[in-house]
Every structure is written in C-alpha cells, then in structure tokens.
Structure 1
C-alpha cells in the first residue's frame, strides 16, 4: 500500500476529523483523470495551487479551490498577495517550496510561513479530496481540517465556478 508522507500522516492522525488515505496510480493523479478513473465527483476534489508575485518582492501563497472552480488569480488572489502581477508558481518552484510534485500537492504540511487561502466554496463541502503530498495517494478529509493549518484563511470569491457550455 502506498501512503502519504510521514509528516502529512502525523497531521491527519493528530486531527479530530476522520480521514482516508487512498492509493492512486501516479499516472492518474491529475484531478480530471483521477476523478474519471476512480469515480470521484469533481465538485468534491480540491486542488492546492501555488501562486507567486511576478513583480516587486517575491511572495508566494497556496490556494485551495474546488476542481469545478477557477482561481481568480488576476483579481482576488493578486490583490490579496499585494502584487501588481501574479502567476502560477512553476513546477520547480512548487517542488522547491513544498517538497511536493504537481498532481500531489496538498494543503497539509506546507511551510508554516506560507499563507493558505481557502475558497469559501471548499468549506461548504461535506468532505474533500486533496493531493496526498505525492502523486501516489489522495486524502479524503473534512474541509474543517484546512482551518487548523498555519496561516489558513477562508477567502470569499477566491475562485469562481467554471462555466460549462452546452455544445
């Protein structure tokens, strides 16, 4: 059985909330593929996305948004980060800062000085699926667990539902 990182397992076990660590084929770790293959609802899947300032002082933040939503990087996230321009952190920057690979990044066990912004719609879910800290596991947790993480904050309007057009 594949497991999550020891420090993430410790956070889960110290929490008062129920959790499940689920094995995942690393080739199927990207959210849309994972949901289709494992029969999980995209509206219950939450992505942890690292953003960075592009101008001025280099600043980072982690954002948790539902897979059915798009991060409002150019307005809400940019303003909150206090930067003129903001972009997504590269895979290399994400790995350097979090020690995690894209497709497995989780909101648990992040550096304690990294802001963690959670879209308000995430908190409305009964449970959410997060990356397991690696591409070979996923975590099914109560979203309230996110509020126990350092520098966590619920941000209204951090992400917006993706419009699905009828073709």
Structure 2
C-alpha cells in the first residue's frame, strides 16, 4: 500500500522528521524537538456549514490564528464555517488525525490555502499525515501542490497574552 503523503512529497524538497505521537501537538512538539513556533505551520481542515460541506486545508503559522469566521468563510462562500471534527477529518482526509494533518497527500477535491505569511519563512515544519512524523520543507514545497493557493490575510496575529494577575 502506498503512502499518499510520501507520494505527494516525491518530487518536492523535504525531510521526514519522526516524533513521539504524544508530542505531535504544535506547542509540545516545538518544545520537545527544538523547533521555533515561527517555523511551525499548522494544517487545519475547515468545513463550510452548508449542505455541500465544502472542505479546505488552511496552512498558517503557529504564531497566528486562522481567520475562520471572515477570510475562510467568505472564500468558501458559506454563511458559516468551522474546524472539521476528528471523525470528519479522518474520513475526508484519507485517514489523517488531528495533530498530524498535512497539506501533502490530501484527496484532490480538498484545496490547500496557504497564508502568505508562511511563504516568508525559510523552512516550515508541518504535520506528516500521522501523529508520529512531521515534514520539514521550504514553503515553496507546500505552494507547489497542484491544489495550493497562497492567500493574503488568511490568518491574523495572535492576541497578546493577557497579563498575569
């Protein structure tokens, strides 16, 4: 059985980085393996709340937050949008789990929208399709996917941490 993630990466510059599945979530991974949050990109599946339930994979830096309620919803052309749940993520991504979602190897009908800020990094680390690996690559490898489109303003800066009382 071929691995759709590795197949999609075949001709693209990348490295596969193994990781402990318990440390797959972004903050834990960066802390445990020494990657900067600025170089970590989250691949997030979003679905439109309509009968068709359109799905998109949004790739944003971990130091930003995906603008689901405005930018993504408007681009999807739906009145409402939300993060795909765990079950729908597995079903519609070809078996990927939350914490391991990657833009590489998704079904052809799932577009990939890459926030323009991702393209400013020298390299990014993204999910690897499962919780036991990540993919380290230049942003150009993500943008080279046939269904990828770089989008300005897909993500917003994270709000400053609230002061401790």
Query: What is the TM-score with the length of structure 1 in the denominator?
Result: 0.91
Query: Which structure 2 residue ranges, 5 or more long, are not aligned?
Result: none
> Shift of the alpha carbon at 1:148?
1.9
Out of 126, 130, 133, the position equivalent to 1:134 is 130
- The answer to whether the 8 A contact 1:23-1:138 is kept is yes
Q: How does 1:55-66 map to 2 (within 5 A)?
A: 55-66=50-61
| Alpha-carbon distance in structure 1 between the residues aligned to 2:10 and 2:51 | 39
> Shift of the alpha carbon at 1:64?
0.3
Out of 98, 101, 106, the position equivalent to 2:102 is 106
Are positions 1:115 and 2:111 aligned together? yes
Out of 46, 68, 75, the position equivalent to 2:70 is 75
> Shift of the alpha carbon at 1:56?
4.3
| Alpha-carbon distance in structure 2 between the residues aligned to 1:79 and 1:96 | 24
- The answer to whether the 8 A contact 1:113-1:150 is kept is no
Out of 133, 148, 153, the position equivalent to 1:152 is 148
Deviations 1:11-30 (A, max 9, x none): 32322x2x211110000000
Aligned equivalent of 1:6: 3
Query: What is the TM-score with the length of structure 2 in the denominator?
Result: 0.92
> Shift of the alpha carbon at 1:166?
6.0
> Shift of the alpha carbon at 1:150?
2.5
| Alpha-carbon distance in structure 2 between the residues aligned to 1:75 and 1:54 | 14
| Alpha-carbon distance in structure 2 between the residues aligned to 1:51 and 1:9 | 23
- How many corresponding residue pairs? 161
- The answer to whether the 8 A contact 1:32-1:42 is kept is yes
Aligned equivalent of 1:93: 88
Query: Which structure 1 residue ranges, 5 or more long, are not aligned?
Result: none
| Alpha-carbon distance in structure 1 between the residues aligned to 2:110 and 2:137 | 21
Out of 13, 17, 25, the position equivalent to 1:30 is 25
